[in-house]
Amino acid sequence: MKRASIFAAIALIAGAQASAQWGGSLRFCIRAEPKTFHPLEVDDEASELVRYLTGGVLIRINRYTQDPVPGLAVSWKISDGGAKITFHLRHDVRYSDGSPFSAADVAYTIKQLNNPALHSPFADEFRASGGEIKTEILAPDTIAVRFAGPMAGLERLFDDLAILSSSALDKDKAVLGPFVLHDYKPGISVQLDRNPNYWKTGPGGRRLPYLDAIQLDIQKNREIELLRVRRG
């Protein structure tokens, strides 16, 4: 299955608003070991999948329509010929550890992206304008991000930018996505559990995701994977 198809299926299962049962877990195989769990250092497919499931982003690209839709930002405006984007953020959003989310966290994340020691295709794409990315906090829920020059499809960059926490004591464990990293067994599996503070809600106001957990089994051999599926 192609990466886009996998992400579309996960997006539907993990956070769909259609009729569904609460609870349970999803288990499937990934082909390789995640190289990193740091969202800004991702440069491989397995790590990208974990980031997609755990990271909260300002704008999410709908995997079916390819249209940008609100994430942590309820709205945004592009100006200065495509060199500046201003976000208006959601209120009352908290990280998985309970720390609050604000424009300061977006500024902190952009600051980390500016680090020249950060080498990943993702970070390089953000720095493609040829200079430092600057931020201006206009209010606790409003921030402007300015690039050195115009960027084509500027808003689409933010679909991959998982917002880090600037205030959490353990920044590696504070996430804004639907799941949190619970356990990692090298060469065996990655266990993700429901984020109890995830901001999205389903029918009746109950917090998403529907699933309690997702287990990613690390299995390169497709024949073994098929055998395990047949065995239930």
- Which CATH architecture fits 58-168? Alpha-Beta Complex (3.90)
pLDDT at residue number 16: 46
- For residues 229 and 156, the model is more confident at 156
pLDDT digits (tens, 9 = 90+) for 3-15: 554 555 555 555 4
pLDDT at residue number 159: 93
Judge: domain 1-55+177-232, CATH 3.30.530.20: no
pLDDT at residue number 229: 67
- In the predicted structure, residue 19 carries a pLDDT above the cut 80: no
- In the predicted structure, residue 21 carries a pLDDT above the cut 80: no
- In the predicted structure, residue 132 carries a pLDDT above the cut 70: yes
Q: pTM, whole model, 2 decimals? A: 0.87
Stretch 15-42: mean pLDDT: 80
pLDDT digits (tens, 9 = 90+) for 91-102: 999 999 999 999
**Residue pair 57/90 in contact by the 8 Å Cβ criterion:** no
pLDDT at residue number 1: 39
pLDDT at residue number 225: 60
Domain regions of the chain by residue span: 1-55+177-232, 58-168
pLDDT digits (tens, 9 = 90+) for 104-126: 999 999 999 998 888 888 888 88
Tell me the pLDDT band of 23, cut-offs 50, 70 and 90: confident
pLDDT at residue number 185: 95
- In the predicted structure, residue 2 carries a pLDDT above the cut 60: no
pLDDT at residue number 58: 98
Separation between Cα atoms, residue 109 and residue 106, nearest integer Å: 5
pLDDT digits (tens, 9 = 90+) for 159-218: 999 999 999 888 778 999 999 999 999 999 999 999 999 999 988 888 899 999 999 999
pLDDT at residue number 224: 65
> Chain-wide mean pLDDT for the chain?
88
